[in-house]
Amino acid sequence: MVVIFLYGLGLFTDTISAKLIAVSGIFGLILTFIIIRKLISLQETAPLVILNNQGIISKVTGVSKAAGLILWEDIVDITIEKVGADTLVTLSIDQPDNYIPRIKKKLSAMVVNGILDENGNLPISLTAAELTVDAKELFNAITTFRKDLVHAEH
């Protein structure tokens, strides 16, 4: 970007190009903004996945973050599956009407179009790519916490 900007200023040639200066300047500002936001997010110390007595709060995928608190009582199944290079923990939610409006509001209606599985459940995937544990450990932590919670209630 800097080289294109300097070229537009006529440093290498004696010709000044206002369009080249403007375009490279705008892209440079956008790139700087993205880098600064990423650096700030790297310093966040808040947990990306929270398990509590009510449910799961996850910030590891856009959909899970938009869904907010996912109640234990709404989760009918928890699975682990390999998708491409990533391994995902998928929560099957049997009350999609409680979550779809929140996801649409925070993301887009396109994200939830056709997202329900064959049973009418809403799958919400969690990735361990940004966590300090792998997907299997995340899966075990969620299922163990849920089992302990069920046993504590009875």
Same domain? For 38 and 54 the reply is no
Q: What is the pTM of this model?
A: 0.66
Same domain? For 108 and 140 the reply is yes
Q: Please tell me the predicted confidence (pLDDT) of residue 44.
A: 66
- CA pair distance 68, 64, nearest whole angstrom: 7
- CA pair distance 33, 139, nearest whole angstrom: 35
Length of the chain counted residue by residue: 154
Q: What is the pLDDT of residues 5-29, one digit of tens each?
A: 676 767 677 777 787 788 888 888 8
Q: Please tell me the predicted confidence (pLDDT) of residue 92.
A: 92
According to DSSP H, which parts of the chain are helical? 2-8, 18-42, 62-67, 96-106, 109-112, 135-153
Q: Are strands 75-83 and 55-58 parallel, antiparallel or unpaired?
A: unpaired
Contact status, residue 82 vs residue 90, Cβ threshold 8 Å: no
Q: What is the pLDDT of residues 23-69, one digit of tens each?
A: 888 888 899 898 988 787 767 667 788 899 999 999 888 888 888 99
Average model confidence (pLDDT) across the chain: 83
Q: What is the pLDDT of residues 54-109, one digit of tens each?
A: 999 998 888 888 889 999 999 999 999 888 888 889 999 998 888 888 888 878 76
- CA pair distance 100, 111, nearest whole angstrom: 9
Range of the domain at 135: 49-153
Q: Please tell me the predicted confidence (pLDDT) of residue 11.
A: 65
Q: Please tell me the predicted confidence (pLDDT) of residue 129.
A: 81
Same domain? For 103 and 36 the reply is no
Same domain? For 95 and 37 the reply is no
Block residue for tokens 């979550």: 99
